Amino acid sequence: MTPGLSERSGGPRADRIDRPRRAAPRRPPGLWHRLLRNRLALTGGSIVAGFAGIAVLAPALAPHNPLAQHLDARLVPGLWTGNAAYPLGTDELGRDVLSRILYGTRVSLLIGVVAIALMNVAGISIGMSTGYFGGWLDAVLMRVMDVLLSFPYIILAIAIMAVLGQGVLNAVIAIGIVNTPTMARIMRGVALMLKERQFVEAARALGAGPARILRLYVLPNALPHVIVFSALSLGETILYIAALGFLGLGVSPPTPEWGAMISTGKDVLILGRWWPSAFPGVTIMLVTLGFVMLGDGLRDVLDPRMRA
């Protein structure tokens, strides 16, 4: 055979040389893979997980009883002066600041999580109902939500607590009511968008009722919005809890709570005793930052436009 004949005649050697190989289709990264690659979500989730662990293990981590008063050790500085017995110092009643911060994590996270759950139940129910059915139901409920949105959040929370009184349950109700209008607005927009989609119209044509459509078709497609907004709202909720405690409208004393600790600690700042209020303030900043970073990261991970 003449050299080069197979190349000129299009033989198998030419096919091997000239025909490009097709690359295997690349699968898009999964949810967990995207989550682990997102540094913002990973950092925020680590902070939140750390505080959740502190809340669970507070009795084992706290060096002292958070309610025990040591009047002979009032306003004692901590480790920066070599005092290992009270690492973050003591407050005006001789209570260990570190122990009260650890136990205060339980109070703040408990109120925050339950308040967000209440917000989700009320906001999702109102938003999906008004967005899907419309009409007079939409007009009435959305005007009520507009009235609530017209008040500054903290002022509305203070007004509700002033009516209900102090207590963990009342704080949960107040903060849940404050956050409900925004969630209702978000879910209404999602329901308005989804009820015109083809899969919803197909389910309706097959005889599915409104309750089934909302439960099986609208709500699952709205879960990314719910998850992101809940994570972001938890950061704000921690601030509301601290603000109510600072004003004396939060949980009843002597329960350790970060806002109340800052309120009592501010009275001794003029004496140069900064630690009773500074360390709870730093704790509030860290946990709020963790939830905000987690919410921003989840928004990037769950956004379909970011999956390319």
Per-residue pLDDT of the chain (308 residues; tens, 9 = 90+): 445 444 444 455 544 555 555 554 555 556 677 777 888 888 999 999 999 999 999 999 999 999 999 888 899 998 988 888 999 999 999 999 999 999 999 999 999 999 999 999 999 999 999 998 888 988 999 999 999 999 888 888 888 888 888 888 888 999 999 999 999 999 999 898 888 888 888 888 888 888 888 888 888 888 888 988 998 899 889 999 999 889 888 888 888 999 999 999 988 888 889 999 999 999 999 999 999 999 888 887 876 555 55
Long-range Cβ contact pairs of 67-76 (< 8 A, separation 24 or more): 67/95, 67/254, 67/256, 68/95, 68/96, 69/93, 69/94, 69/95, 70/94, 70/95, 75/268, 75/271, 75/273, 75/276
User: For the segment 202-247, what is each residue's pLDDT rounded down to a tens digit?
Assistant: 888 888 888 888 888 888 888 888 988 998 899 889 999 999 889 8
What letter would DSSP give residue 96? B
What letter would DSSP give residue 71? G
Q: Which domains does the chain have, with CATH numbers?
A: 46-60+94-306 (1.10.3720.10)
- CA-based nearest residue to 225, from 152, 293, 304: 304
- CA-based nearest residue to 43, from 289, 226, 235, 233: 289
Token digits of residue 113: 């999580």
Instruction: Tell me what percent of the residues of the chain surpass a pLDDT of 90.
Output: 43
User: For the segment 171-182, what is each residue's pLDDT rounded down to a tens digit?
Assistant: 899 999 999 999
